[in-house]
Structure 1
């Protein structure tokens, strides 16, 4: 079943376990996609029948090898397009997600390869999420969530979640960018170049640092 809806499901399942180990449940998947649980349950059953996910009633959902391959491919499309929009067209990192959601289903493989070449094969998107290569492989270093990092921890910002545009805008205004080195003063307070920076409370669950 080749459809944007299937790709969106697989991409959401893939993203859920990138920065933590717990598998996604159907109810979490429904919340992520903004759908009613009954619709999600029906689609998960269809995906399982096609060999794209493993799922037992009332249990979590996991990608099969085939599902992982397809999820990595659509995730690669999405993140390459986000990177392209930021670098080439001046989009801010809180604007690109919705645009990429539309374009990822329309861009041809040939154009995607040209975009990849134009950007010199980037490994990470503007938010710090890894861009799978053409074979689906990703590179990621050990990480810790800001809210779980001990006081005094020093690390580089690896990722700022794109789930909340307000957090992205606040992070950008405070100079919190991917690659910046920070020291943790509190769950939502960091030090950048000797200056304390207070972030919104939601940042404790949205910013990842190198471990």
Structure 2
């Protein structure tokens, strides 16, 4: 079942548990993909028959070992391409997602390896998401969502979700970047380089810090 549609399902399931532990439900998967629940149910059954996911009727969905390996391979492509576009072509971090969605299905394994080598085998993409290695392994440190961080917590910005380009621009305009050392005042305010920085309310659920 090699197809962009299958890849999108596997990527979405993978993403859902990448920064939290709750497994995705069929209704959440349908909402994420913008598809009818009946269509999602049918595809999940096909993925289960192929051994790519495990699922019981009306229960949450998990990737099998094979499904996780395949999802990691696609995500590796996507994130390497995003990193390449920012590094080599001057794209901003809010511009790369849609381009990578197209290119990830077109880039050959040979070219992808060349991109990885040229970039120096990066471990993270411009948004702070871990890039799986060729074996599908990822390396992350302990993290906390900004919304769950207690006042006074200090750490580095590990990741900013790429879901909302407008929010990415707002976070960048506030001077908050991946790797920045920050101290939490509250879910909407950080101290960066000794100065208070106000963030949009949506940032509380879109910014992750080192724990």
- Asked if Structure 1 and Structure 2 have the same fold, meaning a TM-score greater than 0.5 normalized by the shorter chain, the answer is yes
Q: Deviations over 1:28-54 (max 9, x none)?
A: 111111111111111101000000000
Partners of 2:21 and 2:204 in 1: how far apart?
18
Partners of 2:7 and 2:141 in 1: how far apart?
26
Query: 1:20 corresponds to which residue?
Result: 20
Q: Deviations over 1:133-164 (max 9, x none)?
A: 00000000000000110000000000000011
Partners of 2:81 and 2:30 in 1: how far apart?
25
Matched, 1:45 2:65: no
Partners of 1:125 and 1:31 in 2: how far apart?
25
Structure 2 runs not aligned, ≥5 long: none
Residue 173 of structure 1, CA deviation: 0.6
Query: 1:136 corresponds to which residue?
Result: 136
Partners of 1:109 and 1:33 in 2: how far apart?
26
Matched, 1:31 2:31: yes
Partners of 1:201 and 1:42 in 2: how far apart?
37
Query: 2:100 corresponds to which residue?
Result: 100
Query: 1:152 corresponds to which residue?
Result: 152
Matched, 1:168 2:164: no
Partners of 1:8 and 1:58 in 2: how far apart?
21
Structure 1 runs not aligned, ≥5 long: none
Partners of 2:86 and 2:37 in 1: how far apart?
34
- Count of matched residue positions in the alignment of Structure 1 and Structure 2: 211
Poorly superposed stretches of 4+, deviation over 3 Å: none
Residue 24 of structure 1, CA deviation: 0.4
Q: Deviations over 1:118-141 (max 9, x none)?
A: 100000000000000000000000
Secondary structure class of the residue paired with 1:184: strand
Query: 1:204 corresponds to which residue?
Result: 204
**Alignment RMSD:** 0.5
Secondary structure class of the residue paired with 2:134: coil
What TM-score, normalized to structure 1? Answer: 0.99
